[in-house]
Structure 1
Amino acid sequence: MRRLCIATLAASAIAASGAHAQERMPFHVATFADSRTVSLGIISSSASTDSRFDFDVGIGLTEFGPGGAPVFRDESTHGVRVRCEAPAAVKVGGIVHPMPTAPGSGDWKQDLWKAMCQQPIS
């Protein structure tokens, strides 16, 4: 039941932001020494087709130049899977990355896990 509730909330949030497809809400932003930034955003999310995971997530990438203007937008959708409950994990390609007990910040996989699994429920 909890998985269904979380999946519904995540899908609703994605659908609500779908009207602003040009503005992908980033879950992770990396800044480089030359003032470029790379933003990773959730493009799609659904209940996972793999029963070992909670979500199938599509990720998009956008690079911004030093002035903040987009210089590259990857039009591909990169698929990953997320498991919220223990053992918490993010699966990229064929590799399952376990999440630490208290996920930190800075690693895109941990940031994605937090965005998908630690959504406030009202």
Structure 2
Amino acid sequence: MRNVLSAVAIETLLLTSAAATEPVVFHRAHFPDDTVVSLSLVGNQSAARVKYDVDVLISLSLSSANGGVSYSDPGTHKASVRCSSPAIVSVSGVDYPIPASDAGGSDWKDDLWKAVCTPPTS
């Protein structure tokens, strides 16, 4: 059942992202100096490696608390995601396990996994 839900979530992400005109922000970090760092999904495709489900491209931008963009990284950053157990986000060849629960809080890799692997709700 989990594999079916993962496949549906991946297909939904692929179709939604193809139709979207703006990047999908999946993580924001707020800092004491009112700087906000946003990570966005700007591309995705079926994974090139069998171990993963999706390869994604991530963009990074910095803004002030009032919403003005102060920096937008001109490059993109690659990551691979496996939705089925054991859940993994891979960056630069390093696999980061994604915990089954939110008990320990979440970081950007957890949020990326959720954005890619969790079916949207309405």
Q: Give TM-score, length-normalised by structure 1.
A: 0.87
1:115 aligns with 2:115: yes
- Residue 14 of structure 2 aligns to a residue whose secondary structure is helix
Question: Structure 2: how far apart are the matches of 1:62 and 1:106?
Answer: 20
1:14 aligns with 2:17: yes
> What are structure 1's unaligned runs of at least 5 residues?
none
Question: Structure 1: how far apart are the matches of 2:25 and 2:96?
Answer: 20
Question: Structure 2: how far apart are the matches of 1:67 and 1:7?
Answer: 33
- Residue 49 of structure 1 aligns to a residue whose secondary structure is coil
Aligned residues with identical type, % of pairs: 34
> What are structure 2's unaligned runs of at least 5 residues?
none
Segments of 4+ moved more than 6 angstroms: none
Q: Give TM-score, length-normalised by structure 2.
A: 0.87
Tell me: CA distance 1:118–1:88, structure 2 relative to 1, closer, same or farther (3 Å): same
| Residues 28-83 of structure 1 deviation map (CA, whole Å, 9 limit, x = unaligned) | 00000011100000000111010000000000001002431001000111000000
The within-5 A match list for 1:86-97 is 86-97=85-96
Greater mean alpha carbon deviation, residues 80-89 or residues 62-71: 62-71
Higher RCO, 1 vs 2 (CA within 8 Å, ≥6 residues apart): 2
Report the number of matched residues: 118
